[in-house]
Structures are given as structure tokens and as C-alpha cells.
Amino acid sequence: MFAEVIVDVVNKEVDKIFDYIVPQNLNVIAGTMVLLPFGNRTVEGFVLSLKESSLVPKEKQKSIISVISEKQLITTEMLQLAKYMKNVYHLKMVDILRLMLPSQIRLGKVKDLTIKNIKINNDFNFVNNYLNTLKANAKKQKEIIEFFINNDKISIKKSDLAESFSKSAIETLIKENVLIQENVKQNREPLKNIESNYKSVVLNEYQQNAVNKILEKPKTYLLHGVTGSGKTEVYMNVINNVLKQNKNVIMLVPEIGLTPQVMRQFKARFGNLVALIHSGLSDGEKFDEWFKILNKESRIVVGARSAIFSPIENLGAIIIDEEHDNSYISDSNPRYSTHEVAEFRKNYNICPLILGSATPNIDSYFKAKNNEYELLELPKRANNKELPKIQIVDMCKEFRGGNTTPFSEDLMEKLNQTIANNNQCILFINRRGFSSFVMCQNCGYIPKCTSCDVSLSVHKDEHQLKCHYCGKKFKLLTKCPMCGSEHLKYGGVGTQQVVNLLKEKFPNVSIFRMDNDTTKTKDSHAKILSDFEKSKPAILVGTQMIAKGHDFPYVTLVGILDADLSLFMNDYRSTEKTFQLITQVAGRAGRSDKTGEVVLQTYFPKHYVYNLVANYDYIRFYEKEINLRQTTLFPPFSKIVRLLITSEKEDDAKNATHNLFLNLKELRMHFKEDVYFLEAMKSPIGRIKNKYRFQIVLRFANNNDIINEIFNLVDRNQSKSVTIFVETNPLSLS
Ligand code: ADP
Ligand code: ZN
Ligand code: ZN
């Protein structure tokens, strides 16, 4: 017998399947991990399949050394998914398998957590004899034995026992074999003791209609519901029904670590049936949650993007909440689209896939319009309240009127009012740090990162300049290192600066900041959010982290300080992303019986996106956007592929780009009409982490032959010093 194996080594040259002999005495099945001789090393490997014979010559054949786990760690479905992803995304098999078997499981670094418990010897006569022979003054031992006899079959942690009884008596009883120590597996479970605060609601007609439709047929549904329309309640109902059919569920939530409320809701309602998978868990928790899924103890997996690779079988529904969220596209290696992976699993399990959003992806809505998905609408807030009114403020006018602060007069007035009413406010600014750059006003010098071609962001609180691309830190400047001038100008207001200004203005109000810098440690998001929830009046300043799904009843005001930040990004989706972000942030206001309002500050108040967003007019926005994409031939009417060519040697990257470009020009001749755009250039950010970056961008008709040809060309142009990544419809071209 032979096993087809992928070795767990990342190396351009070893991305292929190796045959190994399966020794008679080993029980090897597809989907396990094994130890292998590889070159002169011993490495781990994934078994893809078994076969009777091998074409490898006899003298070159090697044997598997041992089996790491007798269990099938990678399910049959996941093995098929891996093959599918290899074809579609042109990824290395080992990178895909690593998604399916997280490092905590693979590398053997994390183990079961066991604790020492104490129980009583189950030989009753032996215990009784011992008790009878005890001297009258051995009261302490007697007490302990009686405790165990009165609490039938109890097994208790040694330290807990020692809190109530004498330590030396416990030790004596252990020595005498009356008490026995045992190792007990302890589950490391996130959010263990959540009290259930679940109130059952009666679904309204829109919600009920959506649930009924979803349960009818195993297809893909787009659940388009305004913020607060009760989408979560629809998901919960679907899940309940699926559980009754004895099937299981995956529910994806963007960056779930940021939304402890959602996790709590699920834990409270479904308790132990829920497994949580996200990056905020400790290694031990991840390990235990993953095995709970593999061992079929969990029936519902709730998690961020990576949870789509959970080894849960017999799926009855897959749910992607906030389906428009960027986090569902993996934009670093291995690159994949969560929607496509979910679609594969939906087809494999023959179950419904539900995509929910207040502002669906243009792509998804297009598919719904073309009957590839079924559209389900929740047009009203569940509590029948109006959506908060959005007021657009022209920041150019403010500036001309002499206001140079980041806050317009209207916003300030409303902020004062909110505080006077003892309510809460959320201020959104999509830029962390104090400012995005610092410039010498005398000579124009701007400090840049030494490893990347980007300017450094100012972090005054930490007295640092930070590179947001590689994380490198430098000392804050007090004067220009070029000309010595002390006139430094700070450009691009960030969260730190906003908080500092607010603290001056409102010294007695609780002010919180939520961004990458304040949420580095485990549970810090949850802490900020719960502190904010408890404080009144209060202001929460944050980046797009605060846009996600939070439900705070006292938030009556939302301020969007610089709406334009996402509008002029290097991306054909920048208008779409702006519409989505503003709608999401605005949706945080007025969610309870209190009326909410939103102030949106912009330097381009006439831009059509703001007018449509202020009217919550998704449909008209969609129509405008889809017309534009059709006339300009952008996705979904075409595919954009970026080939990102990186190398530590600038010349190597440049030469590789040049050669690849010549090849692609030839390819273009074959597919003349179908290739709309082809250009090679230095990437807008020419260097990150000391790697030089060049890129070739193609736009072409949805034609699989072209993409396959591109993959072939990329393979032929890879070399030791140059790495080429292929990205389809990338989130950013920077
Ligand atoms: P969404 O996910 O669409 O933004 P949620 O599911 O968070 O909306 O629901 C918003 C609020 O409305 C929640 O407080 C929820 O408990 C409440 N809600 C949902 N459905 C109903 C209903 N049928 N009747 C009353 N309240 C509801
Ligand atoms: Zn200077
Ligand atoms: Zn850097």
C-alpha cells in the first residue's frame, strides 16, 4: 500500500504529491497526519489518499515512520475542497491544508489541558476497613472520607478539596490509597459561563417569509435587510430548524472578536452546542474548540472567515452575516474568497447558503437580480423605528468660515446636546494614530520607513513614529533632522488626536478609543465596549472596528468625521465601500426607543454617493453603480487580475515583470477582443518589508481559458529570488 502525501514544508520546489510506503503495522487513512523521512530530515505530512501501486522506482521508495493521529483530521469534504481551491486559486496544497488544520493542531505545540482530580477508591470494603481501623483522634481523615461517601462518585480538583479540608490528611489518604489521583481533561472554553439573556420574539411577516423560503430549497439566498431589521433573528430561527433536522450549521461573522455581543447571544441561546473560532482565542481555546467540532460535540460553528474551514459535517445551513465585509476576502497568501468556498460547501452538503447584509456587495446583488441567488428583503427596522436621519456637512465651508478643527459646528452642537441628555455618541474616523504623517514646514522633509516606501504615522501617546505596513517604530521628532527647523506640521487627523481634542473640550466625560493600537491584547475589545456601554454620558472614538454590529441603546448620535477617506482609494470598489461603511456606522444610532441622528462630514458634499446614502437608497445606488461598471467593463462584467511580483532585489523583480509582461502581450494576441486592459508598473507602494514590488494588471472578459493561461505563465516565470502572486479582483492595487 502507498500513501499520497503532501509534506508540511513550504518551499516552491516541493509543492507536489509524494508517494510513501505504508508499513503493514501502521493504520493510515486519508486525511491523517504522519511522520516522514524527507531528504535527511523527519517532517510531518498530510495523507491525501491511498493506492495499491506507485510509479516511483523501488530503490527510491521510502516508508512512513509513524502516524501522528489515527483520526481523520481532514475530512473527505475538506480534501475535495482543497483540490478545488488548488485549481481555482492556483495555491500550494500545503498552504490550503494549513488553513484546514490550524497550527495549534498541526505542530503538536498545544495539548489537551488536564488537571489533577481526587476521587475515592471505588473498592468499598477497602475504604470501610480503613475507616474502622482509624484512631478516634484522626478526625480530619474521617471528615474527608465522609465527604466522598456523601457525595457519590465525586471527582474534585485537589486545590479545591484543600480549601475545605486538611492538606496533610489528604496526602495521607492518597498515600494509603484511600483517595486516588486522576488526570481529567479540562475543556478550555471561551465565554464559558454566560447567562442566558435571550428573549424570544415573534417574527414579523418579512422575517417569517424569509425563514420559510430558506427552509424550502437548498440554494443561495441574499438576505437584504436594513440595519436593525432583525436579520440575526432570522438566522437564529433557521439554525433552530436545522438542528431539529439533525443537521449542523456554520455561521460566519466578520471579525467576530470585535462583536462580543453576537458571541454572547449565540452562547446564551445554544450553549454548549456552539463552537467559537476566531483569532482572539488563546491557543488552548482554539485547540479545544476545534476538537469539539471534529468530535461532533459542537453542532454550530460561529466564527470569522477561517471558520469556513471547520471540519463540521452534515451541514444544514451556512450563513455569512455582513456578507459585504472586506474580511471575507483573504488578500494575503493563501488568497481565496469565502463566498466561493462557502458555495462549494453548500453544493457538497446540498444545503442553503444565506448571505445577509444591509448593503450587499454589488456582485451579490447582481447575482440576485439575475436569479443566481434568491433575493429576500427585510425593508423595515424590527422595532418599526425610522432609520436615523443623516445630515451632510460641507467641511470646505467650515474651513472657509475659520473652523480648522476636525469637528463641524453642527456636530459640536449635537455633541453638546447628547452629553447634556446623558446619552452616548460614536465618532468614526478611519485613521489610527495621532496623524498619518508629519512634515517639516521649512524644507518639506517627511519621515519614511526604512523598510517600506511609505511615510510614517505619528503616535504621540507612545512618543513614536510607526510604519503601518511593517510595524517598525522610530522616535518621535522634535525637530527636522534635515534642516533643524522646529516647525513641524501634522497631516491627516487620526483617532489619538480626536480623543486628545475631545478630552480638552469635555474633561468630565468618559471618552474611549477603539483601534488597532488599543485592542492588541486578548479581550481588550470586549473591555472597551463594555466600559463604554456602562458609562453615561460617553463618547467612543474609533476606526471601522466600531462599525460592526454593535447594539448600544443609548447611542443617539453618530459622527462620521471624514467620510471621504475611503472614497478615493485605489480600488474600483471605493464608492461601494464608502456607501457600505457609512450605512453601517450610521446604523449604530437610535437602535432602541431613542431617536438617533448622524452627522456626515465631507469635503465633497455634492458626490452622488452621499446623497444616496443619506436617503438609505441602496437600490438606486446599486443601479448607478452597476450601469457604470457595465459601460466601463469592470466586475462583475469582467475580471481584474493583478500579478504582484516581489523580490528583495529590485532588478530581479523588474526583469521578471518585464518578461512576464512580454508573455502576456503575446497571450493578448490570442484573446484579442477579450482582454480589455494590460499594463505593467511599479506598485504604488514600491517597497514593503524590504521587498520591491512591481505589478501587472489585466482586465478581461469572464473567460476561464485566460486565467488558466495566466497561471501557466506565472508558473514558468517563478524563480528562486522572485515571488509572483496572482490576485483576482483584489481589494486594493496599492
Ligand atoms: P440586524 O442584524 O438586522 O441589524 P438585529 O437582528 O440585531 O438586526 O435586530 C435589531 C433589534 O430588533 C434587536 O434588538 C432584536 O432583538 C430586535 N428584533 C428583531 N426581530 C424582532 C421582532 N420580530 N420583534 C421585535 N423585536 C425584534
Ligand atoms: Zn526641515
Ligand atoms: Zn515599514
- The residue whose CA is least distant from atom 10 of ligand 1 is 228
In a domain, 236, yes or no: yes
Q: Which of 89-98, 153-162, 586-595, 619-628 is the most confident on average?
A: 619-628
Check whether residue 213 and residue 306 sit in a common domain.
yes
Instruction: Tell me: pLDDT of 194 over 60.
Output: no
Residue range 95-109: mean pLDDT, rounded: 80
Mean pLDDT over 170-176 rounds to 88
Model confidence pLDDT, tens digit, residues 255-272: 766 567 777 788 888 888
Q: Are residues 300 and 284 in the same domain?
A: yes
Residue 286: its pLDDT value, please? 84
Mean pLDDT of 117-134: 85
Residue 383 lies in a domain: no
With 60 as the cut, is the pLDDT of residue 110 above it? no
Lowest mean pLDDT, pick from 145-149, 196-200, 561-565, 596-600: 196-200
What are the b/e assignments for 209-218, b being 16+ CB within 10 Å?
A: ebbebbbeee
Question: Measured from the CA of 378, which atom of ligand 1 is nearest?
Answer: 3
CATH number for position 7? 3.40.1440.60
**CB atoms closer than 10 angstroms to residue 721:** 12
Residue 494 has pLDDT above 60, yes or no: yes
Alpha carbon nearest to ligand 1 atom 21, residue: 382
- Residue 181 reports pLDDT greater than 80: yes
Q: Which ligand does the CA of 691 lie closest to?
A: 3
- Report residue 78 as a C-alpha cell: 475538506
Longest CA–CA span in the chain (Å) reads: 101
pLDDT of 66 above 80: yes
Q: Which pLDDT score, from 0 to 100, does residue 572 have? A: 85
311 pLDDT higher than 90: yes
**728 has pLDDT over 80:** yes
Average pLDDT of span 554-575: 87
Residue 588 or residue 565, greater confidence: 588
Q: How far is the CA of 687 from the centre of ligand 3 (A)?
A: 9
Note the pLDDT of residue 161.
Answer: 83
Same domain, 277 and 418: no
Interval between CA 4 and ligand 1 midpoint (Å): 50
Judged against a pLDDT cut of 80, whether residue 337 lies above it is answered with yes
Whether 34 and 101 have beta carbons less than 8 Å apart is answered as: no
> 628, 647, 678 — which closes off a domain?
628
Q: How confident is the model at residue 438 (pLDDT cuts 50, 70, 90)?
A: very high
Q: Which of 76-85, 130-139, 190-199, 546-555 has the highest mean pLDDT?
A: 76-85
In the predicted model, what is the mean pLDDT of residues 106-115?
66
Is 132 a domain residue?
yes
Query: Which residue from 197, 199, 200, 201 has its CB within 8 A of the most atoms of ligand 1, so it is best to mutate?
Result: 201
What average pLDDT does this structure show over 409-417? 97
pLDDT score of 384: 83
Q: How far is the CA of 226 from the centre of ligand 1 (A)?
A: 11
- Asked if residue 528 and residue 461 are part of one domain, the reply reads no
Cell numbers at 638, concatenated: 469582467
Q: Which residues have CB under 6 Å of ligand 1?
A: 201-204, 207, 225, 227-233, 382-383, 551
Q: For residue 98, is pLDDT > 70?
A: yes
Q: Which atom of ligand 1 is nearest to the CA of 225?
A: 3
Q: Are residues 653 and 704 in the same domain?
A: yes
**Nearest ligand atom owner, CA of 228:** 1
pLDDT band at 591 (very low <50, low <70, confident <90, very high): confident
pLDDT at 377 over 80: yes
Name which of 178-192, 369-383, 645-659 the model is least confident about: 178-192
Least confident of 281-295, 314-328, 335-349: 281-295
Question: Which amino acid residue places its CA nearest to atom 23 of ligand 1?
Answer: 203
How many Å apart are CA 211 and CA 423, to the nearest integer?
35
Ligand nearest to the CA of 489: 2
Same domain, 229 and 287: yes
Q: Are strands 41-51 and 113-120 parallel, antiparallel or unpaired?
A: unpaired
Percentage with pLDDT > 90 across the chain? 61
Distance CA 506, CA 537 (A): 11
CA of 621 relative to ligand 3 center, distance in Å? 37
**What average pLDDT does range 41-60 have in this prediction?**
92
Residue 67 vs residues 20, 54, 79, 243: alpha-carbon distances, Å: 13, 20, 18, 35
CATH number of domain containing 398: 3.40.50.300
Beta pairing, strands 597-602 & 555-560: parallel
The ligand 1 atom nearest the CA atom of 321: 2
Give the pLDDT confidence score for residue 215 in this predicted structure. Answer: 96
Q: What is the mean pLDDT of residues 473-497?
A: 93
Say if residue 566 is in the same domain as residue 612: yes
Residues 438, 412 within the same domain: no
Nearest to 86 by CA among 659, 715, 572: 715
pLDDT tens digits for range 673-716: 899 999 999 998 999 999 999 999 999 998 888 999 999 999 88
Q: Which of 233, 256, 555 to mutate to test the pocket of ligand 1 (most atoms within 8 A of CB)?
A: 233
Query: What is the residue with the minimal CA distance to atom 20 of ligand 1?
Result: 230
Which DSSP symbol is given to 16?
S
Q: How many distinct helices (H) and strands (E) make up the chain? A: 22, 32
Instruction: Assess contact for 442 and 480: CB atoms under 8 A.
Output: yes
Q: Is residue 308 part of a domain?
A: yes
Q: Does residue 384 lie within any of the structural domains? A: no
In a domain, 352, yes or no: no
> 101, 74 in Cβ contact below 8 A?
yes
Per the domain annotation, does 412 fall within a domain? yes
The pLDDT of residue 284: 82
Predicted structure pTM score: 0.85
Beta-carbon count within 10 A of 133 CB: 8
> HSE (CB half, 13 Å, CA atoms) of 181?
13
Ligand in closest contact with the CA of 477? 2
- Is the pLDDT confidence value at 199 over 80? no
Write the DSSP string, 212-263: HHHHH-SSEEEEEE-TTS-HHHHHHHHHHHHHHTT-EEEEE-TTGGG-HHHH
Q: Do residues 439 and 424 share a domain?
A: no
Whether the per-residue pLDDT at 660 is higher than 90: the answer is: yes
Does residue 97 belong to any structural domain of this protein?
no
233 C-alpha vs ligand 1 centroid, how far in Å? Answer: 6
Q: Indicate if the pLDDT at residue 193 is higher than 60.
A: no
Asked if residue 304 and residue 223 are part of one domain, the reply reads: yes
Give the chain's length. 734
- Give 719's pLDDT tier (boundaries 50, 70, 90): confident
Range of the domain at 686: 639-728
Q: Which of 407, 444, 396, 381 is nearest to 616 (CA)?
A: 381
Closest atom, ligand 1, to C-alpha of 203? 23
What is the rounded distance in angstroms from the CA atom of residue 288 to the CA atom of residue 650? 45
Beta carbons within 10 angstroms of residue 629's beta carbon: 20
Average pLDDT, the chain: 90
Specify the ligand 1 atom closest to the Cα of 233.
6
Q: Does 455 share its domain with 580? A: no
Residue 195: predicted pLDDT: 59
C-alpha of residue 231 to centroid of ligand 1, in Å: 7
- Taking 90 as the threshold, does the pLDDT of residue 79 lie above it? yes
Q: pLDDT band at residue 514, thresholds of 50, 70 and 90?
A: very high
Indicate whether 461 and 404 sit together in one domain: no
Grade residue 116 by pLDDT with cuts at 50, 70 and 90.
Answer: confident
**120: CATH:** 1.10.10
In the predicted model, is pLDDT for residue 590 greater than 90?
no
Closest ligand 1 atom to residue 551 Cα is 7
* Domain count within the chain: 6
